[in-house]
Amino acid sequence: IAVPFTPVPGTRLLARDTAARAALLQAVLAWCAKERLSSLHLLFGSQDDLDTCRTAGMLQRTTTQFHWSNARPGGGRYRDFDDFLAALTQDKRKKIRQEQRRVQAAGVRWSWARGADIGTASWDFFYRCYERTYLEHGNPPYLSRDFFQRMAQDMPDAWLMFVAERGGRPIASSLIAVTPSATGAGGQKTSDFPACAAYGRYWGALERVDSLHFDACYYQPLAWCIAHGYDAFEGGAQGEHKMARALLPVATHSAHWLAHPAFAEAVERFLEREDAGMAAYLGELRARSPFRQPGPPATNP
């Protein structure tokens, strides 16, 4: 039970209340048993989802991602990107500025477009970049050009695209998913998740430029989020290197049902050991905050 290709925390059991959620899960588990399936997995669920799964006896697993919050350590929101940099330790601030200067010195200039303003030519170029990223790692791209075309048609306001140009030619692109409207920015959350957030999804480049990846995937999106009043930016799965860019560790959760009792027992013992190690790992990461003051508290969905 998940969103394909999307490691983003969110509601997975779509039900109106606790009782309906429990009934839905029991129906799914009964169907799995009837069909003699070996397992069921709910990934990146909400707290309500996880509570329902726990009550149903499903195993729980904790992993980690790295998320950025538009919250100054001393309180309030960032005024601009320089204000954000000023909140970091001197070495982290210096590193980011050095990386941005390398990109600028290479003659790279950035532009962005959102929704219907992303033209067909930009989508075509983005797909060339997306395809190149996969092929360079020896894999065919998972998603087709037609998939992105349908997204552009059916949910245009959910997409933000950055394009890097050098010498008048596009050389790189990154695609960010965004909540459809910024009207909730800075407002009260209506669930476990930020009211107004951006999510790094894909990037690629046709030319190699030192530090271009960091600018495309972190600095440009963060600057955009600050300028447009967004609450959070999630950079995707994995990557302790994201901490140097002020994306802090948060716990993410999943729930699992295994049909074979002995196998389920073995996995449960493993998860008990892993949970202890994960708690220590998260504590160690949080102690290495990139902020001059203690960073904003991580919110775990």
The reported pLDDT for the residue numbered 32 is 98
238 versus 58: the higher-pLDDT residue is: 58
| Residue 110 belongs to a domain | yes
- Between helix 120-136 and helix 145-154 the angle, nearest 10°, is 140
- Domain total in the chain: 1
* 241 has pLDDT over 50: yes
Q: Which two tokens stand for residue 49?
A: 């989802």
Distance CA 222, CA 84 (A): 9
The reported pLDDT for the residue numbered 266 is 98
| Residue 196 belongs to a domain | yes
* For residues 258-274, average pLDDT: 98
* 295 has pLDDT over 90: no
Q: How would you list the strands of the sheet with 108-114, edge to edge?
A: 39-43, 248-258, 59-69, 232-237, 197-205, 169-178, 159-166, 108-114
What is the per-residue pLDDT across 111-137, written as a single tens digit (0 to 9) for each?
999 999 999 999 999 999 999 999 999
* For residues 8-33, average pLDDT: 97
The reported pLDDT for the residue numbered 190 is 45
What is the per-residue pLDDT across 154-207, written as a single tens digit (0 to 9) for each?
999 999 999 999 999 999 999 999 997 654 444 444 456 677 899 999 999 999
Radius of gyration of the chain (CA): 21
The reported pLDDT for the residue numbered 177 is 95
Name the 3-class secondary structure at 292.
coil
DSSP states along 171-233: EEEEEEEE-S-GGGTTS--SSSS-SSEEEEEEEEESS--TTHHHIIIIIHHHHHHHHTT--EE
- Comparing 25-34, 141-150, 230-239, 287-296, the range with the smallest average pLDDT is 287-296
- Burial code of 160-172, b = ≥16 C-beta within 10 A, e = fewer? bbbbbebeeebbb
The reported pLDDT for the residue numbered 240 is 87
The reported pLDDT for the residue numbered 181 is 60
* For residues 75-85, average pLDDT: 96
* 215 has pLDDT over 70: yes
pTM comes to 0.89
Distance CA 103, CA 84 (A): 19
| Residue 30 belongs to a domain | no
- Percent of the chain exceeding pLDDT 70 equals 93
**CATH code at position 80:** 3.40.630.30
What is the per-residue pLDDT across 87-102, written as a single tens digit (0 to 9) for each?
999 999 999 999 999 9
* For residues 224-235, average pLDDT: 95
Helices vs. strands in the chain: H and E counts, helices first = 9, 8
The reported pLDDT for the residue numbered 18 is 97
Q: Which two tokens stand for residue 134?
A: 């996969």
Of the segments 185-189, 246-250, 257-261, 285-289, which one has the largest average pLDDT value? 257-261
| Residue 152 belongs to a domain | yes
Domain span including residue 132: 69-237
| Residue 95 belongs to a domain | yes
| Residue 161 belongs to a domain | yes
| Residue 279 belongs to a domain | no
| Residue 278 belongs to a domain | no
* For residues 29-47, average pLDDT: 97
Q: Sign of torsion, CA 287 8 161 184?
A: negative
A 10 A CB-CB count for 85 gives 18
Name the 3-class secondary structure at 62.
strand
* 108 has pLDDT over 50: yes
* For residues 245-262, average pLDDT: 96
